[in-house]
Amino acid sequence: MSEENRKIAFICSKGDLDMAYPALIMGWAALGNGIDVTIFFTFWGLDLITKKRVDKLEIAPVANTSFKFSLMGLPTGNLGIPNIMGILPGMTAFASWFMKKKIEEMDVPPVREYLEMLHDAGAKLYGCKMTVDMFGLKEEDFLPVVDGVVTAGDFMDMTEGAQIVFI
């Protein structure tokens, strides 16, 4: 391994609760191992850094074949809740509440706090200029931990030599 500092960059393109945590957790682990971390938020991934959306992230159980949970604490085995039930009114709210409860039980910080921790520890967080422009967002729409809005080309230049993980 070279003496040059290791780098990793995450591209977050999804704004669902379950898609927020992989980059946050891996980014935190990388920082703990002395690896430079850059996170680029594009398309719906901008929800993770947008003031109005960050605390309202959801998980949709419909079409998520891996999402299985028990009702009232009763084990459901491998059956879980049938996927078709995800279309029922209130199931996204229920699934989101359930997931947030499980995250809290594990002492994992909410997304907003995790982003603050990452930023304070030295991770660089950027929004995608094209998507920001396309969605009509402004700098004041983002959390203060966002280091800026950059083009995809700028991101590529900043992360030259980094391992890239697309989420």
In this structure, the strands spanning 148-150 and 124-128 are parallel
State residue 45's pLDDT score: 97
Asked whether residue 120 is domain-assigned, the answer is yes
* Distance set, CA 35 to CA 27, 38, 81, 96 (Å): 9, 10, 40, 32
pLDDT tens digits for 68-113? 655 445 455 555 566 666 677 888 888 888 888 988 999 999 999 9
Asked whether residue 2 is domain-assigned, the answer is no
State residue 87's pLDDT score: 72
Residue tagged 């009509």 (tokens):
136
State residue 81's pLDDT score: 62
Asked whether residue 100 is domain-assigned, the answer is yes
Asked whether residue 1 is domain-assigned, the answer is no
State residue 102's pLDDT score: 87
Asked whether residue 85 is domain-assigned, the answer is yes
pLDDT tens digits for 8-61? 999 999 999 999 999 999 999 999 999 999 999 999 999 999 999 999 999 887
pLDDT tens digits for 128-153? 999 999 999 999 999 999 999 999 99
Domain at 71, CATH number: 3.40.1260.10
Structurally, how many domains does the chain consist of?
1
Segment 155-161 long-range contacts (CB within 8 Å, at least 24 positions apart): 155/9, 155/38, 155/40, 155/126, 155/128, 158/9, 158/38, 158/124, 158/126, 159/7, 159/9, 159/38, 159/40, 161/4, 161/7
State residue 80's pLDDT score: 58
State residue 90's pLDDT score: 82
Amino acid at 73: G
Residue 162's pLDDT band (boundaries 50, 70, 90)?
A: very high
State residue 124's pLDDT score: 98
57: containing domain: 7-166
State residue 1's pLDDT score: 46
